[in-house]
Amino acid sequence: MEIFFGIIILVLGLLYFLYARIIRNKNNVLEALAGIDVQLKNRSNLIPNILTIAKKFMTHEKNLLENVTKLRTKESEGYDQTDPTSIKEHISAASTLGSELGKMMISVEAYPDLKSNETMVKAQLTYNEVEAKIAAARRFYNSAVAQLNNSIEIFPGHLLAQYANAKVMPFYETDEAAKKPVSADKYL
């Protein structure tokens, strides 16, 4: 009888440990997601200044600039931090915006007056800094998601996940367009 109770206590202790680990991992993901949002907000705040200067010079890139404005609005929309689909859409919007901003920054090279503009130079430096911090936040998020997903997907994690209200979360992957090689011919 004592052995039976001992086993029960051991199993309950183990289940509690696994449950607590899932909760801890879930909170880590939320923390990492908040970290990404802080950096995305910094980038979002930078965009109007860049666009104001860019519009003066980049007359042939109207579509690109408009696209950046639209994507910024989309990225700034609220989302449900507990819903993987909503997070995936938010990440996708942020990633697409990042890709378009990257294209815009490369296009700047084709406009020597804009490239040498003091405000633009400062904006580019800040942009690089913010992108580096987004990359860091993304790495933290992906690391936290990997831990959470492992704890949920490995038995008996998937049984406990329901009680912890934890779901498999999407990774923050860079936009497919950003992975393609960039041709320098246009700017040489």
Partner 1 sequence: MFRDIINGLIFIIRIFRLLSPNLLKSKGMGKSFPENEPYEAGFAAHYDQYLSDKVTSFEKGRLLALKKSRRNFLISLPIIVLIPFGVVNIDWYSLFGEYSFQVVIFMILLAYGVIIWFITSSMDLYQDSIKTEIFPNILNFFGTFNYHPETQKSAGAYEYSGLIPNFNRETSEDHIKGNYKGVEIDLFETELEQKRRTKKSTYYVTVFKGILITLSMNKKFEGKTVVRKDAGSIGNWFQSTFSFDSLKKVKLEDPKFEKKFEVFSDDQVTARYLITVTFMERLNELAEVFGGKNIQCCFFGNELFIMIPLKKDMFEPGSIFEPENFIDDSKSLLKELNLIFSIVDTLKLNIRLNL
Q: From the CB of 74, what's the least distance to partner 1, in Å?
A: 24
The reply to whether 21 sits near partner 1 by the rule CB under 8 A is: no
Q: Choose between 73 and 143: whose C-beta lies nearer to partner 1.
A: 143
Estimate to the nearest angstrom the gap between the alpha carbon of 65 and the chain centroid: 22
Q: From the CB of 95, what's the least distance to partner 1, in Å?
A: 18
Site string for partner 1, 33-52 (x = CB under 8 A): --x---x-------------
Q: Choose between 67 and 142: whose C-beta lies nearer to partner 1.
A: 142
Q: Choose between 42 and 82: whose C-beta lies nearer to partner 1.
A: 42
Q: From the CB of 33, what's the least distance to partner 1, in Å?
A: 12
Binding positions for partner 1, 89-148, rule CB under 8 A: 125, 128-129, 131-133, 135-137, 139-140, 143, 147
Q: Choose between 67 and 124: whose C-beta lies nearer to partner 1.
A: 124
**Which residues make Cβ contacts (< 8 Å) with residue 77, sequence separation at least 6?**
93
Q: What is the contact surface with partner 1 in residues (CB under 8 A)?
A: 31-32, 35, 39, 125, 128-129, 131-133, 135-137, 139-140, 143, 147
